[in-house]
Chain A
Amino acid sequence: MDGKEIKAAPGDTVLKASKKAGIYIPTLCADKELEPYGGCRLCVVEIEGVRGQPTACTTPVAEGMKVLTQTPAVEKIRRTAIELIMSDHPADCLICVKNQRCDLQSAAAYLGINQYKFKRTSRAVNPDTSNPFFVRDLNKCILCAKCVRVCDEIRGVGAIDVAFRGFGSVIAAFGNQPIISSNCISCGSCVSKCPVGALYLKNEKRPDTEIVTVCTYCGVGCGLSIGVRGGQIARVLPDPNSEVNKGHLCVKGHFGVTEFVHHSERLTSPLIRVGNNFIKSTWNEALELVAMKLGKYKGPEVGVISSSKATNEENYLAQKFARVALNTNNVDQCARLCATPTLEALTAAFGCGAMTNPIGDISGAGCVLALGTNTTVSHPVLAMEIWRGVRRGSKFIVVNPKETELARWASLWLQNRPGSDAALLMGIAKVIVGEGLEDKEFIKGKCENYEAFKTSLNEYDLDFVENVSGISKEKITQAARIYGTVKPASIIYGSGITQHIYARDNVEAAANLAMLTGNVGKPSSGVNPLFGQNNVQGACDMGALPDMLPGYQNINKDEAREIFDAAWECQLEGTPGLTVTEMMKEAGEKKLKAMYIIGENPVISEPDSQHVIEALKKLEFLVVQDLFLTDTARLAHVVLPAASFAEKDGTFTNTERRVQLVRKVIEPVGDSHPDWWILCQLARRMETKGFEFANPSQIMEEIAGLIGEYAGISHSRLGSGGIQWPCPDKEHKGTPILHENGFIRGKGRFTPVEYREPREKPDAEYPLILTTERNRYHYQTGTMTRRVTGMDMLKHEEYLSISKTDAERAGIAGGEVVKVVSRRGELKVKAKISDDTPEGIVAMSFHFPGTPTNVLTDSFTEPSMRTPELKLTAVKVVKL
């Protein structure tokens, strides 16, 4: 190249080779993440023996190729390309948001263009401002199609494409309509890619400093780069260096942070109830009161609900506070609703209840089996990894009653009846065994209890499975053949299979399937639960569970307790405590008298919410610690204002066991304080030792000393990127794939799974099945996201999705307010006719307190399972 001998890998383009060799070739449409496009013709070069001037970004290298990057002919083409763009590009640089960050400016400057060559014209189209978070000003568009390609190739959305031809070409959504009317998911990836000022963020301020931290919303744990200006968040961008999100975010992380953090309704001082009102108080007063009151109760009379949104350090302290200061094992968090079945079943099968493989290797799987996950909505950035695989040609099997966006990507979509997942998976296993597709060597060498499992398959005659699941025998067989033969195969699953009363059966069946085919302990394989909240994994690791000490040490094991007794200088109680749902029950019976709720909103999130409200009202003393005066906080005697994730240091552990550093970006808003600080203050006032921490980094030191998986983790190490546990020592780089050298528990254990009918069954009175779901724009009970104007605009209210047939049967039209009645409660909600919802099923989310979906659901839990049924409630829809 240019007379220099350079090396390149086979398959590299000339452009890539030039970069490796440090030779600069100007580009406008090339992007290392996107497929070559060859649209801008800026990267043209001359190649000996090749006619004309090919584009370096699309031409693959060859041995001995002679390339010239700077010839007069090349120079001329480049200049003309830029001059043509400039001919209808507005000369607005000074008032353009991209001024000084614009690739067109740089290219023109590089080529030394100092005048307009062609007659200037203008497109004069109105900017599309329909999206609440960004503007599309296509007058400035240079048609590099980076936005089109990122939207399709990386995000799998395809909201926009190049439309029309010649000079009329534009980037358009379907029908050249405003972007808001398209299937755009407002992720902002196109905005990040646009090289010019055609796509830009609304309300963006240029920051003084930029601090890298971790998103507070879902379990993916994307890296955020938060810009700060004058002590306020000025903008949020993806952290380009994060291994997790690789420069992308979803709408919540990108646009859902700033407004809730700085919202005027943030609690800024402690509140104490006087009669029906709250009065503001000082911290000292509030802490004294809480310490005094909580100290009065005996262990079984108090409960602590910690939060899977809080940091590891805070969850660790919360359970330590409960166990040491309050003498109780009644400590839990909302992970109960989705993570417990996983913890239990995967621990029993493999020896560890966590995602076996990293997010980053899903795309490498030959086959991905997705169970009960609406990933593009619940874990949007992880969904990109699935899409990457699908584009590469991996076989994608989707099991979901609803026609989710994943179903569109699927090679095979099994639209099963709610509650039939375990039966379906066992049916698939039966075919695999029947056709001899099982990995006999793996089973023999690494697993146990296979015969018992095999016997339990007898129950799953395919006719029976077809009957229960509604999936034809042919499709079951097809799925079995794909999953059984295409290697490696990865199973991913979400709350669609865990928010069930018999959820553990589902996870067991999935684990069986993975072992049966030898898909554990290898890259791009395994059983991979996708946790909903940012720190479900961490909160569980830290022992914020009634029956587990930190590091999943069983509370009823003497050896385990002895270690912690010694470390914490206390005498731990050996009987497991109550779960959230059980605490509510006991509060209702006045057996539990006081409760300390940190960052959770059980009034909205727990099933059977009417009972939860009544129970909380019966408490003698309730402390709620949160960012906002939530529906739960309104019932409290003392409300303590907590700092948000942007206002504190700590760590979150994402769904793939990656411990990542959360950094303080701004000072706590008002007089709020981080949860860890509050817990330390309370403990001190209760004269409990072991809470003398000056900062979260010290708390992590204590954690590392007690939890083997975290032994090598410290804040200083995490400064240069997250680490996936187990990380047994300071030199250890972490463990992306579990069970690589054999199962953690020794041998993988098969579990026979018996068929159980769902407890909730539709009947003549309640003929429909209600299932709860998530919405792309809201999170949990909506406390944070509903306070973001743009999110509220994108989804303002709850609705009931119902199929056309069922709507007709009930005589209702779309948009009509209807009554939904279950065996436990009723509510009013707008109906929306949806093609995605099959007959017999209706769906609602649970993000809107005005429409408290959980008045309908059942809080009953099976004693051995302890998770309520949230995905399946028999209801009727009544016309008003």
Chain B
Amino acid sequence: MKEKITEIFTKFTDERDNLIPLLQKIQEELGYLPEESLKEVAKFLHIPESEVFGVGTFYSQFKLKPGGKKTVVVCRGTACHVKGGARIQKDIEKMLGVAPGETTPDMEYTLETVACIGACALAPNVVVDKEIFGQVNARKIKEMFAPAETGTTQD
């Protein structure tokens, strides 16, 4: 990891304005932002570690923990909310045993929420690894996640 970060640093100057581009680049390379990398960035830019942490946790695009193989995004926009988005989220949380922003211990799924994915007509919506599942209900949720839970595969 260290080598990769050092390599990335060679492409940037140590100006403060480079903070966000740097974090983006590191996340692109490593998949997420390990704590160690944030410290390295602080050192490189001569800014406090707390500031890098603040920025890293403020923007939803940054992940400070490694994500699962698949990302599950529950839409919490208005249309989905009206159609029971909150309930859907609860169910999925229960199913996976994690809260939004967390990853299942088997590193299979990372759960996230988002405000409106622009497919309101199909509300409520859930996106699993870029694939949109519309008109989600309790049964569909079971179908979507049962395999991972039991460890068997299904096509």
Contacts and interface: CB of A to CB of B under 8 A. Distances in A.
Interface of A: 152, 157-165, 172-176, 182-183, 408-409
Given A152-B48, A158-B50, A172-B53, 15 more contacts: A159-B48, A161-B48, A162-B54, A163-B50, A163-B54, A163-B57, A165-B57, A165-B59, A174-B38, A174-B52, A175-B35, A176-B53, A182-B50, A183-B49, A409-B46
B69 to A, nearest CB: 25
Given A174-B39, A175-B35, A164 B49 contact: no
B49 to A, nearest CB: 4
A161 B54 contact: yes
A163 B48 contact: no
B53 A174 contact: yes
Contacts of A176: 53
Interface string B40-56: 00000011111111100
A664 to B, nearest CB: 41
29 contacts: A152-B48, A157-B48, A158-B48, A158-B49, A158-B50, A158-B51, A160-B50, A161-B50, A161-B51, A161-B54, A162-B54, A163-B53, A163-B54, A163-B57, A164-B57, A165-B57, A165-B58, A165-B60, A172-B50, A172-B57, A173-B50, A174-B35, A174-B39, A174-B49, A174-B52, A175-B53, A182-B49, A183-B48, A183-B49
Contacts of B52: 174
Contacts of B35: 174-175
Would you call the interface of chain A mostly helix, strand, loop, or mixed?
mixed
Contacts of B54: 161-163, 172
Interface of B: 35, 38-39, 46-54, 57-60
A163 B59 CA distance: 10
Given A174-B38, A175-B35, A164 B50 contact: no
A173 B54 CA distance: 9
Nearest to A173: B50
A168 B50 CA distance: 16
Contacts of A152: 48, 51
Nearest to A160: B50
Contacts of B57: 163-165, 172
B58 A163 contact: yes
Contacts of A157: 48
Nearest to A182: B50
B50 A159 contact: yes
A124 B77 CA distance: 28
Contact of A158 (B38, B39, B47, B60): B47
A161 B52 CA distance: 9
B46 A408 contact: yes
A55 B52 CA distance: 28
Interface centre among B46, B51, B52 (most CB of A within 10 A): B51
Contacts of A174: 35, 38-39, 49-50, 52-53
A161 B53 contact: yes
B58 to A, nearest CB: 5
A175 B60 CA distance: 16
A176 B49 CA distance: 11
Nearest to A159: B50
A149 to B, nearest CB: 12
A159 B50 CA distance: 6
Contacts of B51: 152, 158, 161
Interface centre among A159, A162, A175, A182 (most CB of B within 10 A): A175
Interface centre among B53, B58, B59 (most CB of A within 10 A): B53
A8 B87 CA distance: 57
Contacts of A161: 48, 50-51, 53-54
Contacts of B50: 158-161, 163, 172-174, 182
Contacts of A409: 46
Nearest to A152: B48
Q: Pick the 4 closest A-B CB pairs, nearest first.
A: A158-B48, A161-B54, A161-B50, A174-B49
Contacts of B49: 158, 174, 182-183
A141 to B, nearest CB: 15
A183 B52 CA distance: 14
B32 to A, nearest CB: 14
A409 B49 CA distance: 14
A164 B59 CA distance: 8
A603 to B, nearest CB: 40
